[in-house]
Amino acid sequence: MLAPEYDLRNLVQVPADNHGGVETCVWYTLAANLVDFPATGELVIRDSLQLQPGTTWYQALSVRRTVRYKQTPKAQGRHGDLWQQRLTGTLARHTPELALGLEALEGQELVVLYRDLNGHVQLLGTPEQPVSWTDTYDSGTADFTNRNNYDWTLAADTVRRARPYLGTWQVAEGGLQSGIELGAGAGGTVTIRNRAGQVVATVQAGQTVVLRSGFRVAFSIF
């Protein structure tokens, strides 16, 4: 007999706006950082994931409208099926600091969180089936037909589908001591903060925001 979480049920569709796309920011940490990961049981992870002491989630902020997620089945014959997880996007403009961060990702076994523009968060990868990072650099051309950027891919083959995630996660921002806590956003909200961490505005994903100031403004979008 199947466990209750595998029982057949209605395919529920909630009446609401349907926004295609993924937020520009994705979050990652080492798969080994997860403590007591719920590999079995209900697909939806309702409680916040716990990390090893002194560890946190990190973020990659991509070019707007370049991030996309795809999940496709991969037949394994008598061994059953796997799910191919692919999250892709583009990082703008090579810098020494960006190159350092990219090198640190090489060969690492990761788990990843992303939030779609409907506000739903999913977890990709597990400690047993981690996600890997690859990227390709293109310097672009001087005639502006091609931009200077990195195209990146986060990929894994997993036994289960991506795991809907209802918990929160702590994100490093200027160091572990000043992290911010994020979670699923009802309707896909975007928080704009200045360098001091103060909230400038909270708006719906996809909304255009115009900042008017007589001074130079530094801010981050999550």
Contacts 24+ apart (CB under 8 A), 203-211: 205/19, 205/23, 205/117, 205/119, 206/19, 206/21, 206/117
Mean pLDDT lowest among 12-21, 28-37, 63-72, 86-95:
12-21
Give residue 198's pLDDT: 65
Residue 221 has pLDDT above 60, yes or no: no
Which residue has tokens 């997993």? 158
Cross-strand bridge partners of residue 190 = 203
Sign (positive or negative) of CA dihedral 191, 69, 36, 54: negative
> Are the CB atoms for 193 and 218 separated by under 8 Å?
no
Q: pLDDT, tens digit, for every residue of 141-187?
A: 887 778 899 999 999 999 999 999 999 999 987 555 556 778 877 54
Region of poorest pLDDT, from 165-169, 187-191, 218-222 = 218-222
Per DSSP, the residues of 32-91 read GGEES---SS-SSB-SPPEE-TT--BEEEEPPTT--EEEEEEEE-GGG-EEEEEEEEEEE
Q: Give the pLDDT score at 94.
A: 94
Contact of 80 with 107, CB cutoff 8 Å: no
| pLDDT for res 78 | 77
Tell me, what amino acid is at 211? L
Query: How would residue 126 be classed by pLDDT, with cut points 50, 70 and 90?
Result: very high
Please tell me the predicted confidence (pLDDT) of residue 217. 57
Say what the pTM is: 0.78
Residue 206 scores a pLDDT above 80:
no
- Least confident range from 55-59, 94-98, 216-220: namely 216-220
